[in-house]
Amino acid sequence: MTIPRALLEFGDPHHSGQPATKLAFGEPQQVLVAHTLDEVRPVLEQVDALSREGLWCVGYVRYEAAPAFDAALQVHAAEGPLVWFGVHAQPLADADVALPTAPEPHVQWTPRISREAFDANMARIHAAIAAGDFYQLNYTAQLKAPFASVEGSAMAYFAALRRSQPRGYGAFIDTGEEQVLSVSPELFFDWDGTRILGRPMKGTAARGANPQEDAANAERLRSTPKEQAENVMIVDLIRNDLSRVAEPFSVKVPRLFHLEALPTVWQMTSDVVATTRDGTRLWDVFEALFPCGSVTGAPKVQAMCQIKALEPDARGVYCGAVGVVKPGGHATFNVPIRTVTLRDGTARCGIGSGITFDAQAEGEWQEWRSKRMFLERASQPFEVLETLALRDGVFQHLPLHLQRMAQAAAHFGYSWSEAVAREALAALAQTRPAGAWRVRLLLQPSGRCTAEAFALLESPQPVRLQLADQPMADAQGEFVRFKTTRRAHYDAFTPLDPAVFDTVLFNSAGEVTECTRGNIAIKLGGRWVTPPLACGLLPGIGRQVWLAEGRFVEQVVYTDQLAEAQGVAFINSLRGWLDAELV
């Protein structure tokens, strides 16, 4: 059994319905490396030649290799090889692959730019656009984190990133000196030697907190002139780049403004296709296209000059190209966004967005936050959680709890079997045939379920609730909308006074949302209401049951209305309806 040095999980670029290509490679029989600009062309020519001899070449091209293709492109000095490819006779058979089973590492990311610096750089970009220096710029910043590389930890982290950002063009490459963990959703190019496809990704919107909001966000992205303009600018750049290697009049745009649903964001893509001229080689394709215009801006030369002035760090593999050249020369490369590199005990990841004249600093900052969510999800391991009551051997509202867990599993990409969950609960129930118990059902990424029980003590009523002293920072986040063991955002509001049962939370708009351990019902104007999901809260099972029964209705409630409340109740399926008072 062999521990892979490279893993590829590339989706089908042509959407033919074929499953993703999954390949593992062991120790390369040859390594091709370019450390200097004048070595870049010979290495890519070797890759081209060896692939045409029937070998597989898996590797990357750093962003800082750009001047090898055009001396006018400005970059920082590289912090690693400009080009690296492992050469393999064939992929490993599934039976020959041994994947390490290291636990998923905890990674604490630190942004390297403050909001003040971000706003200042946005102002510089807008001034340069107004001066006519360029009309779009892809601005990025690096995040860094310490990373303890023990055996299997890099691959375990790649697996976590892949669950966080499924589909697309995933690649794990271990060169020995560094590891590249790319879960990029963006195709750079797919070229079979004749037909070439580029799919630039420009335009982003956050996923919604519920289906209605999600659909509205998607439609807004599809129809907003700013997002369309940003996409069209890069499509035009890619068309021009492709024309350098294309047969005359063969460059086409068969698909424009297509939306792709990723776990944390909507992304807009467009397809640009062409027929390459006879005699075109891999070097020619890179010379024409690299770096991809979606990660530079337009015009490319001027944009990259400004990028070097604004960004203090080399981008590295991020925003370069990661991919495979198959036997016969068929090449598929991603644009390594959503990509982590591990080197010298440090993890690095870049986040960025395309800036046009009408881009607003607050909107771009929030877009960066949305794009970072794949890191947040993968960097702190968690389990999907359901908390339910077991009373005299019977679980309360069990079908609804299992349905909610299934929805969370689908959202986070966890394996799920209702039969496995029921089996874990049934085994626990046999040991607790009488009494009242608080049961925690935990789902791991692998699909394994465990259940644990604790005595459920009755709560004297009315329970005392306090109002939070500040809004919850991310009330619309996925760890609010789905119940998991990631609870730091709730734990920060845990009452310090033991006489206080829970804390009433609210969002940045001053709208009441929920409590840290349950939902809330409020009596206003003679009727009971509860905040709608759009305010940012967990869709509690008790809340769902009582809404269906008509015990209360949804209504936005502001914190300044709480003084008018004729009644307050803490509600969840575990404890039921608890009369409450605000203190």
Catalytic machinery residues = 186, 202
Q: What is the DSSP string of 392-443?
A: TTEETTHHHHHHHHHHHHHHHT----HHHHHHHHHHHHHH--SSEEEEEEEE
- Nearest CA-CA partner of 85 in 26, 30, 167: 30
Token digits for 379?
């960097």
Phi-psi region of 152 (alpha: psi -120 to 50; beta: other; left: phi over 0): left
What DSSP letter does each residue of 543-563 carry, written as one string? HHHHHHHTS-EE---BGGGGG
347: nearest Cα among 380, 379, 321? 379
Residue 164 and residue 158: Cα distance in Å, rounded? 10
Kind and range of the H or E run holding 179? strand 178-184
Tell me the C-alpha distance between 125 and 310, whole Å: 9
Cβ neighbours of residue 260 under 8 Å, at least 6 residues apart? 185, 201, 266, 267, 268, 269
Q: Find the length of the chain.
A: 583
Strand partners, 553: 529
The structure tokens listed for 535 are 């305010």
Which residue stretches of 165-279 are H helix?
A: 211-223, 225-242
Which residues partner with 451 through β-bridges?
441
Phi, psi at 448, each rounded to 5°:
-70, 135
Q: Residue 465 carries which DSSP code?
A: E
Which residue type occupies 99? Answer: L
Quote the CA–CA distance of 325 and 46 in Å, as a whole number.
Answer: 11
b/e sequence 342-369, b meaning 16+ C-beta within 10 Å: bbeeebbbbbbbbbbeebebeebeebbe
Q: Answer for the pair 79, 62: CB distance below 8 angstroms, yes or no.
A: no
Angstrom distances, CA of residue 154 to CA of 6, 30, 210, 413: 12, 23, 34, 19
Rounded to 10 deg, the angle between the 361-379 and 153-164 helix axes is 130
Question: Rounded to the nearest 5 degrees, what angle is found at the Cα of 155, between the Cα atoms of 150 and 158?
Answer: 130
Task: Count other C-beta atoms under 10 Å from residue 390's C-beta.
Answer: 24
Look at residues 126, 264, 154 and name the one whose alpha carbon lies nearest to residue 204.
Answer: 264
